[in-house]
Structure 1
């Protein structure tokens, strides 16, 4: 990408198969204004808990229904307790509806084994219309240097076999850059990096809502720092910068500081047209 201003032609609309698993599993139904119902799928689990990016996409869909604008520009989620598969209620509260952007908060609630309603996630987001944005780009960011997809490792190439792949891994066509997956062989690089090609397994092209999942879809960078086990997200902020072009995404994640039991992950998502379409930062527990 050049540093000089340029005009970018909007890509074709993303392709969504009629039976898209992602769309079905992130579906929400508006029960009444500000109250939405979802049935969270076990297919997006990492162990017993559901993936934070998948859950953010469910919340993002509820906010899309509640707001006059279609696309998340920025969304910040605080993960309060682990979310499990099953029914959930999402409550949205619009703070402001403007001509260009609208802002709202949302909370995801589930009923625990004692029959008490528990808030799992709280979100604050600003929505707009990506197609209405100027095409001018001035950037020093460059796409990650990665081998071709066919030279990268699939999740099913894990030495532990299919049983070692989290349930969510079967929903994705994930191809890990060999340079960043030595941890799977017991030889982490200790650089805190993870890179991969990413598509949904059913062929559905990416859109702004699936980008909310994509930033949290790779194995945690903590693995490349020698950590093992669950790395739960405490807070995740995503900036969606453009509607992605059809085709596989490239996702690059880095961690620079693991200290006092917490680490940060900075993610960039690039589309097939070499555009930076999403950025994120999350704080996670090590």
Structure 2
């Protein structure tokens, strides 16, 4: 009997419980998601969140499924992660009837004999998105959020059109099917719009529908909004808080990243993720360091 292998993203972000070590999970961080000097921050968030899903999704009280879905995740990025083995250590802070809280730390061994180095620390609220009643936009007049205006997928610019030097530093461009709106790709030819906006379509190349863990990766999947301001280079995340609002419908995701305040060597970057049913399914805000000028 043959078994179907898991989709690439699930394999790349898989965690495995350590025997005899409750709350600890082994992971193998994927080099295919490297960008700049480390692994993409959204992938690190997805790996850590998967371990928390395993921990908080266990039976509790009268809930046989526990709380498997991330609702709000706040992460501090402490050091650049490298491809290879890692450990996620989780902590159950509180279990409730509708929401549970947990913490987690992603660690890697840098040198033989030395202690592990923390890459990421997370505090999160988990629930069950199937408990959410109605549509995100069901109550007309109670939201000002509107789906982003994007050119059709076939008119957007794929990752293969990125400058060669950028592709060389970002293998993840070969892992994500990204199609940037033509309005925000001028930076690639030295003509950024100056709006501080990145937007486009996103999906995985494998046949895998989006889910809450993929949404956590998607909030950090586009090039930094600073590129659209003419600041090209690695923009490492210091802190990122993501809110997952609903389980996404199958199909392309529309992603928008914007920044309104660039000062003191840092920028805030807001993200919205919309699904194929025109629902705002995830939001985030992060603080990132601006690319260092040579």
The TM-score, its normalising length taken from structure 1, stands at 0.91
Decide which of 89, 107, 111 is 1:91's aligned counterpart: 89
* Residues 270 and 286 in structure 2, CA contact (< 8 A), matched pair in contact too: yes
Alignment of 1:127-146 (within 5 A): 127-135=126-134, 136-137=138-139, 138-146=142-150
* Residues 41 and 85 in structure 1, CA contact (< 8 A), matched pair in contact too: yes
What is the alpha-carbon distance in structure 2 between the residues aligned to residue 40 and residue 161 of structure 1?
23
What is the alpha-carbon distance in structure 1 between the residues aligned to residue 167 and residue 52 of structure 2?
35
What is the alpha-carbon distance in structure 2 between the residues aligned to residue 282 and residue 233 of structure 1?
7
Highest relative contact order (Cα 8 Å, sep 6+), 1 or 2?
Answer: 1
Q: Does 1:249 align with 2:249?
A: no
What is the alpha-carbon distance in structure 1 between the residues aligned to residue 82 and residue 165 of structure 2?
25
* Residues 253 and 274 in structure 2, CA contact (< 8 A), matched pair in contact too: yes
1:258 maps to which residue?
Answer: 262
Q: Secondary structure at the match of 1:205?
A: coil
Q: Secondary structure at the match of 2:143?
A: coil
Q: 1:123 to 1:161 in 2, by over 3 A?
A: closer
Using the TM superposition, give the Cα deviation of residue 131 of structure 1 relative to its aligned residue in structure 2, in angstroms.
0.6
What is the alpha-carbon distance in structure 1 between the residues aligned to residue 87 and residue 170 of structure 2?
25
Aligned-pair Cα RMSD in Å: 1.4
Q: Secondary structure at the match of 2:249?
A: coil
Decide which of 66, 77, 82 is 2:80's aligned counterpart: 82
* Residues 72 and 125 in structure 2, CA contact (< 8 A), matched pair in contact too: yes
What is the alpha-carbon distance in structure 1 between the residues aligned to residue 127 and residue 163 of structure 2?
44
Using the TM superposition, give the Cα deviation of residue 158 of structure 1 relative to its aligned residue in structure 2, in angstroms.
2.1
Q: 1:162 to 1:188 in 2, by over 3 A?
A: closer
1:34 maps to which residue?
Answer: 23
Using the TM superposition, give the Cα deviation of residue 18 of structure 1 relative to its aligned residue in structure 2, in angstroms.
4.3
For residues 58-103 of structure 1, give each alpha carbon's deviation from its aligned partner in whole angstroms, at most 9, with x where no partner exists. Answer: 0000000110311000000000111111111111111100110100
